[in-house]
Structure 1
Amino acid sequence: MTLARFDEPVARPLWLITLADLSLLLLGFFVFLQAARSIDEARMVDGVRQAFGGDTSEPAMAAMPVDLAIVGGFASGSALVSGSVTDIARWLDDAARDPRTTVTLTGVTGSASDVDPRTGSRDILAIDRARAVAAQLVASGAIDPARLRIGAAATGTRGHVALTIGFTGSLAEERP
């Protein structure tokens, strides 16, 4: 068996092809940098959400959740926090150390009889629970009130308040 040899000379030197590839990549990189200067982040995020079938009614710069804690122990129909929030305050001290995070408190009601005694509303009770936990956290000095958000009311199997640490990507003072 013999191997065939190509005796024809190469049309271009290999280094020239490599240099042309590198030049085109570099040109593409600079075009990308120039285009990235004029990108409206909110429109871009909405476009990606829409392309993947996400909810575009939500604000474009919503916090991305990174950690979660639960405050439980609520009696049925009550928004009073049964214990101390010192464990949650310690958790917040560590988890929300970065000033680019916000804490969203979402009140949750349990059974169908777990309603606000004055109005009969589950949503009002859930929001009151979130506000009660927020008040205790602010009073204990665990977090700056400007970084707290009260989320929408929710229903579940038991009454509690869910605290979600969310990364916003910018300092709270910079957001509109």
Structure 2
Amino acid sequence: MSLARFDDAAPARAPWLITLADLSLLLVGFFVFLHASRIDDAALAQAIRAGFDAPSAEPAAAAPIALDRAIVRGFAAGSADTPSLAAAIRWARGAGDPRTRITIAGHVDGTATDVDPLTGSAALLASDRARAVAAALVASGAVARDRIVLSADPAPAGRHVTLSIGFAGNRQDAAGHRPPLALSNPRSLP
């Protein structure tokens, strides 16, 4: 048995030789594959929500940029009764820009006595302190209800409430309420 007859059929070109056209087609195919396998995360999430009949996700509002802070001190241990709020009310009145939000965060000192007397919860007491200060600010007319964001921090930080004013709007929100600074065409004056 001889293998000589199979040796006669030599390939027309060397198998390792790849032309520029072959490489170009391979590169185009690679980029087509990359483009086809690209996933849009937002579209994928929306498709999954639609598959489960879930409501469309609204984009989360960015947290306001903190511009100024005030602190209400003087809370008794285990109590949400507000101390004098005259300084906090003056501070809140100074923040009259409708593009701002006031975040009111209640805090506790972390001791066993600084908890809600009925439930024993530090988080609930911190929330009650923030709510009491917010109610006093709204009742005094210093700030509108829709501009207040409540927060509670049950981590030990002291018996106080922190108020922070943050910019939550944009320049265009109030642009329609101001007169123009200059005319676009000064020669059009009568």
TM over 0.5: yes
Does the Cα contact within 8 Å between 1:101 and 1:167 map onto a contact in 2?
A: yes
Cα distance in 2 between the residues matched to 1:162 and 1:125: 14
Cα distance in 2 between the residues matched to 1:157 and 1:147: 25
Distance 1:157 1:62, change over 3 A: closer
Does the Cα contact within 8 Å between 2:107 and 2:152 map onto a contact in 1?
A: no
Which residue does 1:147 correspond to in 2? Answer: 147
The CA deviation at 1:169 is 2.3
Which residue does 1:22 correspond to in 2? Answer: none
Q: Secondary structure at the match of 2:130?
A: helix
Deviation readout 1:79-134 (Å, 9 max, x if unpaired): 00122x1211111122x122110001000001322100100000000000000000
Which residue does 1:116 correspond to in 2? Answer: 116
Q: Which runs of 4+ in 1 moved over 6 A?
A: none
Letter in 2 for 1:75: A
Distance 1:67 1:112, change over 3 A: same
Residue 163 in structure 1 maps to residue 168 in structure 2:
no
Does the Cα contact within 8 Å between 2:130 and 2:152 map onto a contact in 1?
A: no
The CA deviation at 1:153 is 2.3
Does the Cα contact within 8 Å between 2:110 and 2:154 map onto a contact in 1?
A: no
Q: Secondary structure at the match of 1:90?
A: helix
Which residue does 2:70 correspond to in 1? Answer: 69
Residue 133 in structure 1 maps to residue 130 in structure 2:
no
Letter in 2 for 1:80: D
- Residues 91-102 of structure 1 aligned to structure 2 (within 5 Å): 91-94=91-94, 96-102=95-101
The CA deviation at 1:155 is 2.5
Does the Cα contact within 8 Å between 1:106 and 1:154 map onto a contact in 2?
A: no
Gap runs ≥5 in structure 1: 1-42, 44-57, 172-176
Which residue does 2:106 correspond to in 1? Answer: 107
Which residue does 1:37 correspond to in 2? Answer: none
Deviation readout 1:16-73 (Å, 9 max, x if unpaired): xxxxxxxxxxxxxxxxxxxxxxxxxxx9xxxxxxxxxxxxxx9442111111100011
Cα distance in 1 between the residues matched to 2:129 and 2:149: 13
Does the Cα contact within 8 Å between 2:92 and 2:137 map onto a contact in 1?
A: no
Cα distance in 2 between the residues matched to 1:92 and 1:105: 11
Q: Secondary structure at the match of 1:82?
A: coil
Cα distance in 2 between the residues matched to 1:102 and 1:82: 23
Letter in 1 for 2:135: A
